[in-house]
Amino acid sequence: MLKEKTVRQAELAGLELREEEIEQLVGSRSLPGIVGWDLDMLRAKQHLVMAHMSHQQLVDLEGQLGELQALFLQLQLLISEQQELLDNIKYNVLHTQDYVAQSAAIVKRAIKYKRQSRLSAALSAVAGLCTCCACLACVPKALH
């Protein structure tokens, strides 16, 4: 009966007591005075437990923030490595455009020289024929 009365007083006081705390209150030689000094002691214990829980949550949060910071550092490293690759690709594309422009100029010159070469070959052939024709014209005269 004393135990039930103690549990009821604790409930009315808004305390959640464990079974061992209830047994300790019931087993004490003095009458359990939940409303008095014991109540303050129990509240202090609850506040201490809550403070320990809050401290543990803060420590866990600090650890998670450290992990998050490590992830951001890794991400930054990966981005900087990728930036080097992007810079190299950009460099190669720009140089490729320069090479294409140079190649276009070289091809134009080659076409020009090819036309000149064909014209030279044609003129040489005509000149060679003329020379041969002139020689052939001299040969019959020399034979007579």
Domain range holding 16?
A: 1-38
The arithmetic mean of pLDDT across residues 91-116, rounded, is: 88
User: Domain for residue 117, yes or no?
Assistant: yes
User: Domain for residue 121, yes or no?
Assistant: yes
Q: What is the pLDDT of residues 19-58, one digit of tens each?
A: 887 777 777 755 555 555 566 777 888 899 999 999 999 9
Q: By C-alpha distance, which of 38, 34, 43, 37 is closest to 12? A: 34
**pLDDT confidence of residue 139:** 52
* Position 119 confidence tier, pLDDT thresholds 50, 70, 90: confident
pTM value is: 0.38
User: Domain for residue 128, yes or no?
Assistant: yes
When divided into structural domains, the chain yields a total of 2
User: Domain for residue 23, yes or no?
Assistant: yes
User: Domain for residue 53, yes or no?
Assistant: no
User: Domain for residue 64, yes or no?
Assistant: no
Q: What is the pLDDT of residues 128-140, one digit of tens each?
A: 766 666 555 555 5
User: Domain for residue 70, yes or no?
Assistant: no
User: Domain for residue 71, yes or no?
Assistant: no
